[in-house]
Structure 1
Amino acid sequence: MASLTKRKLLLIVTGGIAAYKTPELVRRLRDEGTEVRVVMTHGAKAFITPLTLQAVSGYPVHDDLLDPAAEAAMGHIELARWADLIVVAPATASAMARLAHGLADDLFSTLCLATDSPIAVVPAMNRLMWSAHATQRNLRLLQDDGKLIWGPAEGSQACGETGAGRMLEPAEILQRIRDFFGATSALNKTESPGALQGKHVVITAGPTREAIDPVRYLSNYSSGKMGYALATAAQAAGARVTLISGPVQLSTPSGVQRIDVITADDMLKATQAVTDMDVFIGCAAVADFRPASMASQKMKKQHGEDSLQLSLVKNPDILAWVAKQSPKPFCVGFAAETQNLDHYAKDKMQRKNLDMIIANDVSNTNIGFNSDHNAVTVFWQNNKKHLEAQSKQSIATEVIGFIAQQTTSQPEEP
């Protein structure tokens, strides 16, 4: 887990009801040794007082762009340069719009425009506001600008409705902050940055969908979170990253090129179109089979029939195809197993000519599919390393470190 000791974090609180959660976040950050400064918009002060956040942070709250006293202490430009990370929480629909369009007429928006620090946006709003075309358009702009998007979560909302738009809980935001600093810190024992500098890493992630008819398909429970965590860690290690993704509900990691696909054939074609990969990580849960033919119309239940037979054909093996290329990239596979983990993982690594394989036990419902946490065993050459249950981002950081050590090690002199 990344240490937050002596990290400098600027928390920007905008005017949403979820602002009441921010003192808890500040308290938890300070408990871990983080220095926190707080900026509040005028709207935020309708939900929580500056005195509360001053008490938990230990510093006066900044709330006015043109406050001479604040400028004398720590001017807004200095504050923008000071932070290791800026977190906007809660980020209302209005706040996201202002960020997306580069406004700079209050302290919040000016700070975000005048900084070169990374910015994490933690959305919080009504479900309809979140799903509105304008908000989703602004979300894409923020992603294109390299902003980190954390959330939103789904659940009951202050308005009485239920759906996507809840701000992540303080504990979840804290973990995202830990993961961020873990991914951007050194990835090997020597803690040298840029461990994959100059390498092109291609990662497949998420499920594939194989159509039965125009409204039904075969798929699996993969959320894509592990593959996206690996993309984040590889980019932080200095690599150029191409992420080939099946259908998921995840934001594109900052600085990563994302290619969206649906079927296994789509994923294979997208992989074959990449001609210069140094490392290939096959993290996607590719459907093993697909229907032999897709019905042109929705299949109807026939009167008196209690069963349906589908004819399936085998899908292409993307990882095996990559491993047969010359020159061969460093190939990493995944093995999701429910029993005999070591045996099946080692067998798969040998059969497919892989350089490394990451195996996890998907029979444990607390980790793996759809979870933010995982526990895996990494096999390479004659080595084996078990990583205990932790966040997927922390695991991804360690795995990328192992890959960096293998791909950058120099051969011994004869």
Structure 2
Amino acid sequence: MIPYGRQNISDDDIAAVVEVLRSEWLTQGPGIASFERAVAEVCQARHAVAVSNATAALHIACLSLDVGPGDLVWTSPNTFVASANCALYCGADIDFVDIDSQTLNLSVERLAEKLDAARQAGRLPKVVIPVHFSGRSCDMQAIAALGKEYGFRIIEDASHAVGAEHQGMPVGACQYSDITVFSFHPVKIITTGEGGMLTTNDTALAKRLVRLRTHGIAQGSDEMVSAPQGPWEYQQIELGFNYRMTNLQAALGLSQLARLSPFIARRRQLVRQYHALLADLPIVLPQASEESAWHLYPIRVAAERRLDVFSKLRAADVWVQVHYIPVHTQPYYRNLGFKAGDFPEAEHYFAEAFSLPLFYDLTDEEQQSVVDLLREALS
């Protein structure tokens, strides 16, 4: 079987995890801070905060920006449900902005139109969460300019985009946002098994994120509301969660991070090859981008043919996948008042799309087999 994504685990990765297993530190330990520093350096951000998964990262990112009941958060409908759920966890309301037909990211044009209407209605978002779909950054400079004009904060959902760039800077530098969130799920660019990371340039936000991931407990005497009575004392000063990454996960992540450049280079090479190999087929290819991390390679076929082509590929053990069912069409979100037709570009894309295999260990021979089977399925 050829999956759509797969982790690459090296002997060095295994050795790094075994070293932790033989150490004193299995859960919390010095490896977490080392991994955070390494990610911050790669992203050229001041701070990085490791957590148990990217959903947890999105949740505490919203909390750190004081998202709560009565607030409104906007994101893309072309994403996994976590990008929207995080606002609901905080008691806020959620809405969506349709996508650009070419980049498949949140449309700046639709965002500007919606913001203008929202200002007239007196209901502007507190936070906007642009999603870097498939590893390609949204137009963050334009979104940041709208944020300044309309007064909203920005959380980049870069779960797909570890190692990507935007305007020559690493995604995660937070040049145009308050916080960036990454995922280290096994199908992503690098993995910690499960795991996530937040980057920010705001020291106060970083301190709060650390506190929120650890039950809301103050991390030092300078954060405590009263002087500690002894070295044993800890003080919970707000409601937080157990969203901590383990030392085991951090060891794997740090080892994986050392191979980020070849991981990205191989994905970009495979994408160039896909573009050349598929150019003559009756499909729509993803827009080329030399800055994308290329977590996914989504193609589009005629809607009436998708199920047949998809099924034929799966029957041939090419495990293609659809990314994503628009969030607003999920039953839970329909119960909140959303309906089919609300965000037509995302729905149009979904009706035609599925992702071809793309991962570091995909061989040229396997890629050619995928292309041949796709060509046969389309004929």
- Compute the TM-score of the two structures, normalised by the length of structure 2: 0.31
Bigger RCO (CA 8 Å, 6+ sep): 2
- The structure with the largest helix share of the pair is 2
- The structure with the largest strand share of the pair is 1
- Compute the TM-score of the two structures, normalised by the length of structure 1: 0.29
